[in-house]
Amino acid sequence: MSQIDASKHNSDQLYKIRHSAEHVLTHAMTRLYGPDKFFMAMGPATDDGYYFDFETLNDFKISEEDFPKIEAEMAKIIKENLPILRQEISQDEAKKLFKDNPYKMEWLNSIADKGEIISIYKTGQDFTDLCAGPHVEKTSEIKAFKLLSIAGAYWHGDEKNKMLTRIYGTAFESQESLNKYLEMLEEAQKRDHRKLGKELGLFTFSELIGSGLPLYTPKGASIRLAVNNYVESVQIKQGYTQVWTPQIAKAKLFQISGHYDKYKDSMFRVVSNFSDEEFFLKPMNCPQHTQIYAAAPHSYRDLPLRYADFAMLYRDEKPGELNGLARVRAFSQDDCHIFCTEDQVDQEIDVALKMTKEIMDTFGLKYKYRLSTRDPQHPEKYLGDPATWDRVEKWAVDIMKRNKIEYFDGPGEAAFYAPKMDLIATDALGREWQLSTVQIDFVMPERFGLEYTAADGTKKRPIMIHRAIIGSPERFMMIMLEHFAGAFPLWLSPVGAKIIPITDTQHDYANKILTKLKEQGIRAELDDRSEKMQAKIRDAQMEKIPYMLIIGGREVESNSVSVRQRDGQDLGALPFDEFLAKVKDQINTKSLNLIK
């Protein structure tokens, strides 16, 4: 069962409240409809609340219209102040208790295979569920809750399994916190990148191409390119050089790197008509970059080598987990791998952290760092010497402290080959997204036998630093689309200015303005439709275009433009050269604001 990151909240109490609210939900449904109407499957707490999956039986159905009745029963259970008690039981006892529920029986077999303790939680006298916990002690500790939506969900997220019904809900420590969250949800619906992407014509999907494989229109591609070009302009100043690698590779490459054993089920297999060799679409760039390094001998004088790569990557995500641009099967990364000596690591990471700060500041994002380390309960998940892991995890802490970076711990969030320093950005709605990462990797150079000649003539292993700043430009576009509610700053906007002549007699002048803007690299369009001016302005505002340049007879005579902004502000007439200078400055400085 998935769990929320408790560090995102004030304390573990919120996790307990949400987990307990899910039990109250299932308890209420059992009271209302009886245990023979559905099978309880699973119901974890999540980052935003909780959900409950169940299989309906004998034509029984639940819709959002039933939520008020279910919520009323939940409120009754909470008011009864029922104790929620944990009890450890044997495998035989558990199988007798849940013998009629195939989902609980599957969980019990899984628990037995892992050798874990079996625990149940009882709510009052009439409800029991298989659960690892934790929970609050009494139902009255749930102060505020709300059922949110209902959807279909495959068991274990696998489309080969049965489709279950999923109810989403949330719970908080106070009604005030719940109200703020519901307001955020309402605003998030308005900013949904799938809705905005369609309205603004940025990207689309096709059943003929496949789910999770986005197609970017000229407008969407311009945003993607602007983001990539900006990142490249920052990192090229620090000596990063771009490489390009194939989108397929032999299975052996991923077997050596370790990805084959860890991620084979999430990789697309490629079949050749002329070879029996096993190939895969690449899910990450790092193994390929080791082969660029290995293609020539290297001396300590050559290092560091910084390989940047924006090539496409592919991962076979489950259909039920795909979500617009947030979770796709085809994406790229602003990836970089630095091969360096051990005494160069600190400086290289300091530069990477500085670049990251510059780029996050440009987009106006607040952020914090997570130190992603091993899961101490599952050492088998990781490659390499445990002593090296201990050393690198401590090294990462020292780097954070030296750079005066506040961070929180993320046990179990490490990559299988290295701990990570992960940046968690906060958008305009207070939601958190993992973006950049920095990793000090001793494992990959060892597995691929990478070497350089040291000053004393001996052969040594380079250190491999993995670094990304925005992560996936596609996912970053999604975050920015929702962060700015589609109203991108001028330098990112697919169309920066819409030229609107009042009558046909201004078309020649309007075309001259269009040409001059394009010559200066400013994306602009001319609206010469036979529509009323106010309709054209309204359409441009709906497209969230930063500037509308209204051109009438006076503007032609004075070589000016009448400027209106997408927020409705009318700046009046400005000499065209003055307007041009202002917007060029906005673009050059990557300003987040329009003309003051």
The catalytically annotated residue of 23, 193, 337, 564 is 337
Q: Report the candidate in 23, 39, 37, 30 with the shortest Cα–Cα distance to residue 169.
A: 23
DSSP result, 59-103? T----GGGHHHHHHHHHHHHHTT-BEEEEE--HHHHHHHTTT-HH
Contact 103, 41 (CB under 8 A): yes
Rounded to the nearest 5°, which phi and psi values hold at 38?
A: -160, 155
Q: Report the candidate in 182, 14, 26 with the shortest Cα–Cα distance to residue 103.
A: 26
The catalytically annotated residue of 129, 335, 422, 427 is 335
- Per this entry, what is the length of the chain? 596
Burial grade of 482 (CB within 10 A; 0-12, 13-18, 19 or more): buried
The answer to whether 315 is a known catalytic residue is yes
The catalytically annotated residue of 286, 309, 370, 527 is 286
Give CA angle at 510 (504, 516), nearest 5°: 165
Please tell me the distance from the alpha carbon of residue 229 to that of residue 144, in angstroms, as a whole number: 46
Task: Residue 461: count other Cβ atoms within 10 Å of its Cβ.
Answer: 16
Please tell me the distance from the alpha carbon of residue 11 to that of residue 13, in angstroms, as a whole number: 5
What is the maximum span of the chain, computed from C-alpha positions, in angstroms? 91
The catalytically annotated residue of 53, 166, 306, 333 is 333
Please tell me the distance from the alpha carbon of residue 78 to that of residue 144, in angstroms, as a whole number: 10
DSSP result, 141-190? G--EEEEEEEEEEEGGG-TTS-EEEEEEEEEESSHHHHHHHHHHHHHHHH
Laid out side by side, the sheet with 279-281 consists of 248-250, 279-281, 269-270
Please tell me the distance from the alpha carbon of residue 156 to that of residue 382, in angstroms, as a whole number: 24
HEC sequence for 451-485 = CEECCCCCEECCEEEEEECCCCHHHHHHHHHHHCC
The answer to whether 466 is a known catalytic residue is yes
Is residue 135 annotated as involved in ligand binding? no
Contact 311, 245 (CB under 8 A): yes
The answer to whether 337 is a known catalytic residue is yes
Rounded to the nearest 5°, which phi and psi values hold at 255?
A: -70, -40
**547-575 burial: b if 16+ Cβ within 10 Å, else e:** bbbbbbeebbeeebbbbbebeeeebeebe
Contact 552, 499 (CB under 8 A): no
Contacts for 277 with CB less than 8 Å, ≥ 6 apart: 250, 251
Q: Give, rounded to a whole angstrom, the gap between the first and last alpha carbons of the chain.
A: 51
Tokens encoding 100: 């009629």
Please tell me the distance from the alpha carbon of residue 106 to that of residue 111, in angstroms, as a whole number: 9
Is residue 298 annotated as involved in ligand binding? no
The catalytically annotated residue of 315, 467, 483, 566 is 315
Burial grade of 59 (CB within 10 A; 0-12, 13-18, 19 or more): exposed
The catalytically annotated residue of 19, 306, 329, 466 is 466
Looking at the DSSP bridge assignments, the partners of residue 497 are 524, 547
The answer to whether 335 is a known catalytic residue is yes
Binding residues for Zn(2+): 286, 337, 466
Report, as residue numbers or ranges, the catalytic residues: 286, 315, 333, 335, 337, 420, 466
Binding residues: 286, 337, 466
